[in-house]
Amino acid sequence: MKRALSLTLFLLLAIYASAGRASYDIIPLPQEMKVDTTQLFILADGMSITYDASNAESSRIAQFMQEWVKEATGIVLGLTPDNKNAQVKLRLASPTTLKGKKNKKPVAQTEQEKESYTLSVGKDGIMLTAHEPVGLFRAAQTLRKALPVTKGQQAAADGKQAIELPFATISDQPRFAYRGVLLDCARHFFPLDFVKQYIDVMALHGCNQFHWHLSDDQGWRFEVKALPDLAVKGSVREKTVIGPSRMRIYDNVPYGGYYTQDECRELVRYAAERYINVIPEIDMPGHMMSALHVYPNLGCTGGPYAVSPNWGVMRDVLCGGNPETLEFLKTVFGEICDVFPSPYIHIGGDECPKERWQKCPKCQSKIKELGLTDESLVKVEGGDSRGTQDGRSAENKLQSYINQEIEQFLSSRGRSIIGWDEILAGGLTEDAIVMSWRGTKGGVAAAKQKHRVIMSPNVYAYIDHPQLKDYGKQPRTTDSYVVSCSKIYSFEPIVPDELSGQDSDYILGVQANLWAEQVAFPEHALYQLLPRLGAMCEVQWCAPEKKDFDSFKARLPQLKKLYDKMGLVYCNEVE
């Protein structure tokens, strides 16, 4: 008997180098799972993935799946369209709903429902089912993260690789429709290949909106064909401050770089294949030193202006009374629309001090012409305003007038504007979406005014800040406060006691922001991002009652193995 047993065991081992077992304890944690660890499906070399041949997206997702299985486990699966006998099946159909019933509703789905999927593992193999290709993509990412990272382990005598997958049924969909991450490519320029890698990392975490910060005082990074000097000259600063700006110590090394429109289109395509929308930001009317350097006529004083070698908030901004300013902005945003199909375009709007406008004859005469008056100069919402003035001043209303012109222009191209929460100060324009960064107050105020909101409060979402309390353990970065994994994890976007009922429907989602004043290299950017994006993606994806930080920490090692396999740099400690 004993002999027979060991013989069976030996045979099994000889057939498969059963190199490991899948675990569905992944990040972000799916909404619902039933797992039976007593029954296993063996996935092995030579098995295959099938997909709907008539659907190009389904075929592409099957290829991703094939790559990911190979990357993690070394198992090589075949690709066979429309094959009922394949062991891994991608199927476009109605997935069962979270309640386990068939979803027969013919009514319009919410954005979240469009991304829903089921993943089931049973005796016949692995089945990924979704309404839409995006759901299949999410299901494939879930399966990818559940796989044991075993590649490189020894295969059996016959060279076959295999892994075990416990039987399971997973039903999942995201909590929020908008799950964003920002990369600041203005303060430092990141090569396109790195931006693509950033997209891959976002997709791994179930994110779907890439906010691309393309212009700022320190550099203009987007090619505008009608204004060729803008990127060529506006992308280069002569030097960069080393350490705190107030010390005024510089490296004296010119720094530059910009993305051509072809490169931007390439990124849009790359991201779309990974179900990520690219939202470009041209930050105006403040944060514009790079454009003012090239077109000093657009400033209130006429310049000259330098592409800023310093960080922080600059006094000089686009002149609000010069008609050329609007012409300039429409040229820029027109080309932005040509290149980026995003339904949202980010117009910035943050940190625009008004002291130049207060003294500028053109701005003041525009204020008169529009009949704008001071109402209330007290702060209305938001927290730290870093030199900007909140309240309903005539100058803030002038900024709202510019926003309105641009909103109308973009609306004629079928787009909505997103602005930082300062756009509340002079009065929100009709369709504006508010990105709440100075805490959540601006977002709450906007939702109550029935405006859509993206929550990105700095103390929870600014991953340019350190992630560990001990500054000495990590690379130098923006250092006024710590944004740890647990801090991020604790964020609740439907702010308790402030938002409820219909108001909460205006919260589209949540975003993490990686500002890059102190982040000059891809490796450092990844270190800032990971594993904090793991914590953030559970805020974006998971139902609040299912969130648990200890469980998150326990699930992290498995994700880190994949980070290692993907060659990603990350912070190895979690606080």
Which residue's CB is nearer to ligand TNX, number 275 or number 515?
515
Residue position matching structure tokens 């454009």: 291
CA end-to-end span of the chain? 52
Distances (CA, A) of 189 to 26, 237, 474: 33, 12, 22
CA distance 553 to 546: 14
Cβ at position 258, least distance to ligand TNX in Å: 19
> Which residues, other chains included, contact 228 with Cβ-Cβ below 8 Å and sequence gap of 6+?
none
Catalytic annotation, pick one of 25, 164, 351, 395:
351
- 3-class SS at 532? helix
Give the helix ranges, DSSP H, for 122-166. Answer: 133-146
Give the helix ranges, DSSP H, for 288-354. Answer: 289-294, 323-339
Which residue's CB is nearer to ligand TNX, number 333 or number 437?
437
Cβ at position 527, least distance to ligand TNX in Å: 16
Cβ at position 515, least distance to ligand TNX in Å: 3
Residue position matching structure tokens 């006529």: 297
Active-site residue flag, 281: no
Which letter does DSSP use for residue 531 in this model?
Answer: T
Spell out the SS3 assignment of 169-203.
EEEECCCCCEEEEEEECCCCCCCHHHHHHHHHHHH
CA distance 24 to 254: 49
Q: Please name every residue paired with 118 in a beta bridge, in sequence order, or none if there are none.
A: 129, 171
Which residue's CB is nearer to ligand TNX, number 141 or number 478?
478
- Is residue 527 within 8 Å of 571, Cβ to Cβ? yes
Q: Which two tokens stand for residue 386?
A: 């870093």
Which residue's CB is nearer to ligand TNX, number 51 or number 462?
462
Distances (CA, A) of 347 to 248, 276, 295, 333, 403: 30, 20, 19, 9, 8
Cβ at position 421, least distance to ligand TNX in Å: 8
β-pairing verdict for 117-122 and 161-172: antiparallel
Q: Please name every residue paired with 169 in a beta bridge, in sequence order, or none if there are none.
A: 34, 120
Q: Which two tokens stand for residue 197?
A: 């890698």
Cβ at position 184, least distance to ligand TNX in Å: 6
Which residue's CB is nearer to ligand TNX, number 495 or number 516?
516
**DSSP string across 457-481:** -HHHHBTTS-SSS-GGGS-----SS
Cβ at position 106, least distance to ligand TNX in Å: 42
> What's phi and psi for 336, nearest 5 deg?
-60, -45
Which residue's CB is nearer to ligand TNX, number 395 or number 421?
421
β-pairing verdict for 209-213 and 88-92: unpaired
Residue position matching structure tokens 């013989």: 7
Cβ at position 456, least distance to ligand TNX in Å: 8
Which residue's CB is nearer to ligand TNX, number 134 or number 485?
485
Side-chain-side CA neighbours of 293 within 13 Å: the count stands at: 24
Cβ at position 462, least distance to ligand TNX in Å: 5
Catalytic annotation, pick one of 115, 216, 517, 538:
216
Active-site residue flag, 497: no
- Is residue 344 within 8 Å of 211, Cβ to Cβ? no
Residue position matching structure tokens 């979406």: 433
Which residue's CB is nearer to ligand TNX, number 150 or number 400?
400
Which residue's CB is nearer to ligand TNX, number 277 or number 511?
511
CA distance 77 to 79: 7
Active-site residue flag, 287: yes
Which residue's CB is nearer to ligand TNX, number 68 or number 420?
420
- Is residue 518 within 8 Å of 478, Cβ to Cβ? yes
> What's phi and psi for 400, nearest 5 deg?
-65, -35
Which residue's CB is nearer to ligand TNX, number 401 or number 462?
462
CA distance 425 to 374: 12
- Which stretches of the chain bind ligand TNX, using CB under 6 A? 350-351, 420, 437, 462, 464, 478, 515, 517
- Is residue 217 within 8 Å of 187, Cβ to Cβ? no
Cβ at position 514, least distance to ligand TNX in Å: 10
CA distance 74 to 68: 9
Residue position matching structure tokens 């299985």: 69
Catalytic annotation, pick one of 287, 293, 451, 524:
287
Cβ at position 422, least distance to ligand TNX in Å: 8
Cβ at position 217, least distance to ligand TNX in Å: 9
**Which positions are annotated as active-site residues?**
216, 287, 351
